[in-house]
Amino acid sequence: DGGITQSPKYLFRKEGQNVTLSCEQNLNHDAMYWYRQDPGQGLRLIYYSQIVNDFQKGDIAEGYSVSREKKESFPLTVTSAQKNPTAFYLCASMVPARGTTEAFFGQGTRLTVV
């Protein structure tokens, strides 16, 4: 079945640690996105990539980094510079073509700082 797989589902991070969240898709979509969801704040865009080896900052990129070496993969690293990383992280992919706007989401990774 085609879809987006995020792993792990739950992740615990100690203060000062970097952690990497995995996102893999087999939908052959060019565009991939990372969102952060906090209670009562909807989804906020962290980074997005329209094509392999290219990515742009979203609204809240500080303290995060990404790479896009393969079309299928868009991992997100939460660095120690992110002061409040506890949140629900969602990865999405989309076909950036006229006439279609459906973004497919993974099931999310819940990150907690301990």
Partner 1 sequence: QKEVEQDPGPLSVPEGAIVSLNCTYSNSAFQYFMWYRQYSRKGPELLMYTYSSGNKEDGRFTAQVDKSSKYISLFIRDSQPSDSATYLCAGTGSARQLTFGSGTQLTVLP
Q: Which residues bind partner 1 (CB under 8 A)?
A: 4, 6, 31, 33, 35, 40-45, 48, 50, 58, 88, 90, 92, 94, 96, 101-108, 110
Closest distance between partner 1 and the C-beta of residue 100, in Å? 9
3-state secondary structure 46-104: EEEEEECCEEEECCCCCCEEECCCECCECCEEECCCCCCCCEEEEEEEECCCCCCCCEE
Closest distance between partner 1 and the C-beta of residue 80, in Å? 26
- What phi and psi values does residue 3 have, to the nearest 5 degrees? 170, -170
Q: Which is nearer to partner 1, 35 or 113 (CB)?
A: 35
Q: Which is nearer to partner 1, 13 or 110 (CB)?
A: 110
Q: Which is nearer to partner 1, 48 or 85 (CB)?
A: 48
Closest distance between partner 1 and the C-beta of residue 98, in Å? 9
In sign, the C-alpha dihedral spanning 17, 35, 38, 5 is: negative
